[in-house]
Amino acid sequence: MKILVTGGAGFIGSNFIYYMLENRPDYDIVCLDKLTYAGNLKTLSEAIQNPKFKFVKGDIADREFVDNLFSQEIFDKVVNFAAESHVDRSIESPGIFLQTNIMGTASLLDACRKHSVSRYHQVSTDEVYGDLPLDRTDLFFTEETPIHTSSPYSASKASADLLTLAYFRTYNLPVTISRCSNNYGPYHFPEKLIPLIISRALNNESIPVYGNGLNVRDWLYVEDHCKAIAMILENGREGEVYNIGGHNEKTNIDVVKTVLSILGKPESLITYVKDRAGHDLRYAIDPAKIHSELGWLPETTFEDGIEKTIKWYLDNKEWWQDIINGEYRNYYEKMYGNR
């Protein structure tokens, strides 16, 4: 079994590669990644030692490059993690989100058709469903919830999902889609909430909380997401969408206070800042389908997962300090300087 993992130098893709190398040692894995600001070859340094793993630098939206790679390698399955993934960046510069997330997906779908790949899996997000009201805690996203996007990021991911489903219906391309809630864990880029809190708190810097901090996210430890994708890749039904989430809803301010308390840092670091434009209120996944069809259940509670994550950031300071001392400084100043 040879699989192509795109975007494997990023947060979830790299965790998926490590999960598969450990749990599916007979698989050959090729990682295709453009190494944007979010991709980091250091993250894959251990994987690169493994003879079952190979790294290729390239852009999923470069059709000629992708076609050549598919001719050389003969993939059985493709898992597409590659994306521009940060909502705030999509509000500043939507264009690259359309290019990578939509045109890149289209390029991979065409390559899968041409080279008769037996499964294309699109890694999507619960953000394609828009948001739920804060005062209706009885409501959850199911696979039947209509697509209703808020940000250029979520609109680009929804477009990719629609294209993927169109290739199933029109060309019988064997596809699956997963829509997961917010992940956290090792190798998470420090622009996202949890690693941003950890890295800033460790430096005794202010923690910017958007709006009133009462927006709700449904958090899942990244390894549980990786396990779900492996199950869908092997046993998921073609043409189907699977929601992934572990019923772990928390307000942002609760998450911030939990991390500060574990780190022994004062709540006086919390700084309320101007809200995100179009800020989704609440995400909450109903994972009943993947549970009943594939037997998936999350294994890591938020309490354990956040402890493990914080320990990882403490043990791997060099990984995130290299990032925040680089171009990231300009990013932070641009996004938060006048907020």
Residues that are catalytic: 126-127, 153
Report the residue from 18, 33, 241, 269 that binds ligand NAD according to the rule CB under 6 A.
33
Shortest Cβ 182–ligand TYD spacing (Å): 5
Element (H, E) at 77: strand 77-80
- Alpha helices of the chain — where are they, by DSSP H? 11-23, 45-48, 63-73, 87-92, 95-97, 105-114, 152-171, 193-202, 222-235, 252-263, 288-294, 302-315, 317-324, 328-336
Q: Which residue type is seen at 263? A: L
Shortest Cβ 244–ligand TYD spacing (Å): 15
Report the residue from 3, 4, 5, 10 that binds ligand NAD according to the rule CB under 6 A.
10
The two tokens of residue 123 are: 């890694």
Tell me which of ligand TYD, ligand NAD, none is bound by residue 281, counting a contact when its beta carbon lies within the kind-specific cut-off of 5 to 8 angstroms: none
Tell me which of ligand NAD, ligand TYD, none is bound by residue 7, counting a contact when its beta carbon lies within the kind-specific cut-off of 5 to 8 angstroms: ligand NAD
Shortest Cβ 81–ligand NAD spacing (Å): 4
Residue 157 binding ligand NAD, by CB under 6 A: yes
For 69, the 3-state DSSP assignment is helix
**Residue number with CB closer to ligand NAD (265 or 298):** 298
**Residue number with CB closer to ligand TYD (228 or 255):** 255
Kindly state the DSSP code that residue 275 receives in the 8-state scheme.
P
Shortest Cβ 131–ligand TYD spacing (Å): 10
CB 260 within 8 A of CB 269: yes
Tell me which of ligand TYD, ligand NAD, none is bound by residue 298, counting a contact when its beta carbon lies within the kind-specific cut-off of 5 to 8 angstroms: none
Among 236, 227, 113, 115, which residue's Cα sits nearest to residue 164?
113
Residue 125 binding ligand NAD, by CB under 6 A: yes
Shortest Cβ 235–ligand TYD spacing (Å): 28
Residue 130 binding ligand NAD, by CB under 6 A: no
Q: What string marks each residue from 185 to 204 as x (binds ligand NAD by CB under 6 A) or -?
A: ----x---------------
3-state secondary structure 210-248: ECCCCCEEECEEHHHHHHHHHHHHHHCCCCEEEEECCCC
Among 142, 141, 166, 154, which residue's Cα sits nearest to residue 239?
166
